[in-house]
C-alpha cells in the first residue's frame, strides 16, 4: 500500500489551517475567537492583535494568521471600527507631570541665570543690591536642587515602566496561550489562582510604575 505524502507546510501568512483537512480558517480551527474578542474590547488594533497572536505562538505548527483575516472576522462579528475602552477612573500620568515640571524648572533656571549675570555686572560697578543678589543665588540653588530631584525621579519611573512593560508582555503571552489551550472553566480557575496569589500580586506591585 502506497503511503500518502504529507502536505507541505503553509507559507508564512497563510490564512487556512489545511492540516485540519476541512479548510477552516485559523480562527475557527484553533478557537482563538474569544482571544481576539477580548483584545478588541481592550481597544487593540487589528495589526497589534495579529502581531501579538503570531508572536505568542498560540497557533501551533508554525502557522501565521494575517491582518486581513483578523480584520474580516472583527467586522463580521460587530468588532469593526473604533472600539471605545470603558474606564472607571482616569489614572494620573505621574511621569508626564514630572517631565512638565522639569521643563518649567529648567526654564526658570535659565531666567534666573540671566538675571544673576546682570546682577554680577552691577556688582562690578558698585550698583548691585546685595540683598537681591543673595536672594537670586538662593533661588538658583533651590531650582537646581529641584531639577536634580526631578531628573532622578523621571529616571526611576522610566526604569520601572520598562521593567513592568517587559513583564506585562510576557504575562500577556502566557494569558493568550492559556486562553486558547484551556477550556473556559479551567482558564477561569487558573486566573483566579493568579489573582488570589499574594506573592505574585506583591511582586507585580513592586515593579509597577506609579500610574498603574
Alpha-carbon span 164 to 158, nearest angstrom: 10
Q: Who has greater pLDDT, 164 or 84? A: 164
Q: Give the pLDDT mean for 120-125.
A: 81
Contact 23, 16 (CB under 8 A): yes
In the predicted model, is pLDDT for residue 183 greater than 80? yes
Q: Grid coordinates representing 78?
A: 460587530
Q: What own/partner pairs with CB < 8 Å and gap ≥ 24 does 179-185 have?
A: 179/34, 179/35, 179/38, 179/58, 180/30, 180/31, 180/32, 180/35, 180/58, 180/59, 181/58
Average pLDDT over all residues of the chain? 75
pTM, to two decimals: 0.41
Predicted pLDDT of residue 2: 40
22-26, 45-49, 122-126, 161-165: segment of lowest average pLDDT: 22-26
Count how many Cα atoms sit within 13 Å of the Cα of residue 23 in the half-sphere of its side chain: 0
Amino acid at each position: 500500500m502506497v503511503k500518502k505524502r504529507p502536505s507541505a507546510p503553509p507559507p508564512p501568512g497563510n490564512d487556512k489551517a489545511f492540516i485540519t483537512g476541512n479548510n477552516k480558517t485559523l480562527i475557527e480551527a484553533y478557537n482563538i475567537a474569544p482571544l481576539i474578542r477580548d483584545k478588541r474590547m481592550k481597544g487593540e488594533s487589528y495589526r497589534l492583535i495579529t502581531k501579538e497572536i503570531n508572536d505568542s505562538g498560540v497557533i501551533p505548527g508554525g502557522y501565521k494568521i494575517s491582518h486581513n483575516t483578523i480584520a474580516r472576522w472583527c467586522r463580521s462579528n460587530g468588532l469593526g471600527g473604533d472600539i471605545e475602552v470603558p474606564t472607571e477612573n482616569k489614572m494620573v500620568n505621574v511621569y508626564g507631570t514630572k517631565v512638565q515640571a522639569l521643563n518649567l524648572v529648567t526654564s526658570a533656571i535659565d531666567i534666573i541665570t540671566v538675571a544673576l549675570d546682570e546682577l554680577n555686572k552691577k556688582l562690578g560697578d558698585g550698583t548691585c543690591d546685595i540683598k537681591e543678589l543673595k536672594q537670586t543665588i538662593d533661588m538658583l540653588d533651590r531650582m537646581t536642587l529641584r531639577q536634580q530631584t526631578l531628573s532622578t525621579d523621571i529616571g526611576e519611573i522610566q526604569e520601572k515602566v520598562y521593567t513592568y512593560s517587559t513583564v506585562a508582555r510576557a504575562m500577556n503571552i502566557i494569558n493568550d496561550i492559556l486562553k486558547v489551550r484551556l477550556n473556559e472553566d479551567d482558564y477561569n480557575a487558573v486566573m483566579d489562582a493568579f489573582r488570589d496569589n499574594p506573592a505574585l500580586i506583591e511582586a507585580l506591585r513592586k515593579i509597577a510604575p506609579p500610574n498603574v
